[in-house]
Homo-oligomer: A and B are copies of this chain.
Amino acid sequence: MASMLLSRQLTCCLQQNSRLLVFGHRYISQAAAKIDVDFDYDGPLMKTEVPGPRSRELMKKLNGIQNAEAVHFFCNYEESRGNYLVDVDGNRMLDLYSQISSIPIGYSHPSLIKLLQQPQNLSTFINRPALGILPPENFTEKLKESLLSVAPKGLSQVITMSCGSCSNENAFKTIFMWYRNKERGHNNVTKEELESCMINQPPGCPDYAMLSFMGGFHGRTLGCLATTHSKAIHKLDIPSLDWPIAPFPRLKYPLEDFVKENQQEEARCLEEVEDLIVKYRKKKKIVAGIIVEPIQSEGGDNHASDDFFRKLRDIARKHGCAFLVDEVQTGGGCTGKFWAHEHWGLDDPADVVTFSKKMMTGGFFHKEEFRPNAARYPHLISRVRGRGTFCSFDTPNDATRNKLITIARNKGVVLGGCGDRSIRFRPTLIFKDHHAHLFLNIFSDILANFK
């Protein structure tokens, strides 16, 4: 496999020479000329220095409407194929960076072009479905065929997102809701929580944190950025959150010469993780989750041992924190397994795994217990309970309860009360699924309009 060949040859070559690999300097691999994908080019072809004159001209133009300082060069994507990126000056380069790890099977892959031209797929881009409320007919089936067919072990649920940052942001939120529900123990959201959350204050907005690692990169929106610590330029001048940051192991290479030192280094970092969880808890800031990359990419390709990650997973479980593995850059096959964290051999799977880039969509997998079960009307409905059809729930007080019963009756549904604030269901034994749906539709409307 190309990835094994690359990693072995690179490791070998770089270690022996202790200098940078210069392509064209000499043959690294004897099979360098082999073309194994039909639509691939047969090698680099350089016509100008890069950026060439056309790229420089375009940079100047772009700089008129946005800061273009970070642009490397301009590309001709229609001419780019397979492993080769073609620039606007006609230079064809073997691309080992692939849009920061975002091209799964090469540029302009014929299968992808064919796929996107299908009316159903074109329709998705043009008709911008609001997936949460109006999904297309094949949504479940497509998720099962694609994302869920490669879901990490133990994670049966999947949510899609547009980008890696949104994937992590929403994974954090899923974790915070899960943690709060655990703390609450039941579904009884208080009036104080509902009111305080509207003005950004606890208890409605609890003082929860994600623990992250120095050198990690998890995106650049404000929540993600509070867990990103790779480069100052990403963070400078942006307000942040006081969330705990643990050291990530700095391993010495070659690994076989530093076995003991590296074990000590990893132990030191793990100890710091536990210390931080405890220290932050003492100042009333709860670590709801730990986020980590299998390989810190943006931060310098920093690795840790499988043992380190297994122990980190154990620490998360021990302290009741969710364990979130950010596979945005490592996922999709490039580490030799579909998900990099599969190398670790975890007994207990990760709780949440985020992805984007090579997956060609953002999103995250999670365990079933992380489904947001926060009710849609927590200010009206709580303590939902029942056996069979013998069900009930609580409302905030008897006035609300009685009003709900009256409104329902006028919409054609008879409900009964019990206790001082409960509504109970006591249907007959010939109550079927469609009756339940009928009720749920009517009651859902009532709740939506309730004032």
Q: Which residues of A contact B (CB under 8 A)?
A: 51, 54, 56, 58, 61-62, 64-67, 69-78, 80, 85, 88, 99-100, 102-103, 107-109, 112-113, 116-117, 119-120, 122-130, 132-137, 139-140, 143-144, 148, 156-159, 162-163, 165-166, 169-170, 172-173, 176-177, 179-181, 189, 193-195, 197-201, 204-209, 214, 220-224, 226, 229, 232-233, 235-243, 245, 357, 360, 371-374, 376, 378-379, 437, 441
Contacts and interface: CB of A to CB of B under 8 A. Distances in A.
A99 B129 contact: yes
B134 A72 contact: yes
B126 A236 contact: no
A241 B239 contact: yes
A207 B240 CA distance: 8
A80 B136 CA distance: 11
A240 B3 CA distance: 42
Nearest to A207: B239
Contacts of A80: 127
Contacts of A242: 200-201
B77 A127 contact: yes
A78 B237 contact: no
Given A165-B166, A195-B232, A197-B237, 5 more contacts: A72-B133, A180-B237, A193-B236, A222-B223, A239-B241
B374 A233 contact: yes
6 tightest CB-CB pairs across the interface, nearest first? A222-B223, A200-B240, A205-B240, A180-B237, A169-B221, A197-B235
B376 A233 contact: yes
A405 B290 CA distance: 44
A368 to B, nearest CB: 10
A355 B87 CA distance: 30
A136 B77 contact: yes
Nearest to A165: B166
A33 to B, nearest CB: 25
A62 B140 CA distance: 5
- Of A119, A166, A179, chain B has the most CB atoms within 10 Å of the CB of A166
Contact of A176 (B224, B239, B379): B239
